[in-house]
Amino acid sequence: QVHLAESGGGSVQAGESLRLSCVADGYTTSTYCMGWFRQAPGKEREGVATLDSEGSIKYADSVKGRFTVSLDNAGNTLYLQMNSLKPEDSAMYFCAAEVRPYGATWFGFDPFRSADFGYWGQGTQVTVSS
């Protein structure tokens, strides 16, 4: 069982920065995709940034050039560095992980489809005011 715990959210002014952290534990060596999603009130959950055990990193067009996703060397803390924040970035941000054993297929997996992820954190709120 994988447990994810986010931290680092808060309230900032437009143009400022925040760094979100997600500590993951409970999983053994395997292949994975981990990432950040966000959900604003009345809107669907959307993928923000993901990375996987093959080294592939993907960003939503709305955050490219402003957000950076990374994983620490131990492989158990995921970060999201958010710069030049905009009011439209305001949302609850969730850490997500999908973990599969070595040799398992990832065919059909979409790193920006929330339903494809099996583990979720509780979320951390980000509010950006203009």
Phi/psi of residue 60, each to 5°?
Answer: -70, 145
- How does 90-99 read in b/e, with b if 16+ C-beta sit within 10 Å? bbbbbbbbbb
Q: In which residue ranges of the chain is pLDDT below 70?
A: 28-29
> What pLDDT score does 66 carry?
98
> What pLDDT score does 26 carry?
82
